[in-house]
Amino acid sequence: MRYLILADIHSNVEAFRAVLEDAEGGEGYHHLWCLGDIVGYGPDPEECVQLLRSLDPVCVAGNHDWAAVGKLDVSQFNADAAAAASWTAQQLSPESKTYLSGLPLSPQEGDFTLVHGSPRDPIWEYVISTPIARLCFAEFQTLYCLVGHSHIPHFYEHRPQTGDCFLRAMPKGEPLMLGDTRLIINPGSVGQPRDGNPAASYLIYDSEARSLRHYRALYDVKATQQKMRRHGLPYRLIERLGFGW
Ligand code: ZN
């Protein structure tokens, strides 16, 4: 079986469609796992929720999903994110809000635990340093944990003998082979990449080959930016898509 692993779609339906087409035209996939933040920031929240639901995914809740349905106070967001969250809440249908409200926090799927932030704090914590990753390895039971939230594709390796952790970049052009080493893995973001590459980021997990492959899908960034301008979304959120930060 192959699993398409996505995170942080952020209401960017152009990027989301580009990833689906890229994955279908490449290895193909049978199941979809989504690591939260379907909405927030971008111009097409309702379209993204509907498209995601049509693919019958296993999907967890992100902080932006909770903000859009009133489960989290937007005063905890920066001004741009709060403005986008308030706008997003007005665009979502009651049905989509019910779906976002009911998303689980940390389901287990085979060898994987799925969360948005971290296994310690699935909504808010960023796993963006080895000291935090080290603490997080004690907080999930499976071999591997998939996280989103930072929008940066990378992974952490755990050494059980010493408790040490190592930060690794995703291998380019070759798969990451999965073994007994416990890992925390971030596929990067579909709709708002922050690693200096504006192309949408995703992973394919092949459960027979025990491998993860990292891909980037180019999409029409300008089309997304134009829609954001039309909706009066914050300038910084529009500009950053062109740079991937
Ligand atoms: Zn996010």
pLDDT per position as a tens digit, 64-117:
999 999 999 888 899 999 999 999 999 999 999 999 999 999 999 999 999 999
Distance 37 CA to ligand 1 centre (A): 5
Asked if 20 and 34 touch (Cβ cutoff 8 Å), the reply is: no
Ligand 1 mean position to 211 CA, how many Å? Answer: 25
Q: Can you tell me the mean pLDDT for 142-167?
A: 94
d(CA 25, CA 1): 16
* Torsion over CA: 218, 47, 78, 80 (sign): positive
Q: Identify the sign of the CA torsion 215, 217, 218, 224.
A: negative
Q: What is the predicted pLDDT for the residue at 162?
A: 87
Average pLDDT over residues 213-221: 98
Distances (CA, A) of 139 to 122, 228, 231: 11, 38, 41
For residues 164 and 188, what is the distance between their CA atoms, to the nearest angstrom?
23
Q: Whose structure tokens read 């954001």?
A: 228
**Neighbouring residues of the ion ligand 1, judged by CB less than 5 Å:** 8, 37
Rounded to the nearest whole angstrom, what is the distance from the C-alpha of residue 171 to the centroid of ligand 1?
Answer: 23
The Å distance, Cα 150 to ligand 1 centre, comes to 7
Quote the CA–CA distance of 13 and 43 in Å, as a whole number.
8
Nearest to 72 by CA among 123, 118, 35: 123
Q: Which helix (H) or strand (E) holds 114?
A: strand 112-114
CA distances to 70, 127, 164, 181, 202 from 161, in Å: 44, 21, 8, 11, 31
Taking 90 as the threshold, does the pLDDT of residue 58 lie above it? Answer: yes
Q: What is the pLDDT of residue 76?
A: 84
User: Which of the four pLDDT bands, split at 50, 70 and 90, describes residue 238?
Assistant: very high
Average pLDDT taken over every residue of the chain:
96
**pLDDT tens readout for residues 170-201:** 998 899 999 999 999 999 999 999 999 999 99
Q: Can you tell me the distance from the alpha carbon of 208 to that of 222, in angstroms, rounded to the nearest whole number?
A: 38
Asked whether residue 160 carries a pLDDT value surpassing 90, the answer given is no
Please give the distance of CA 8 from its chain centroid, rounded to a whole number: 3
pLDDT at 161 over 90: no
Residue 93 alpha carbon to ligand 1 centre in Å:
21
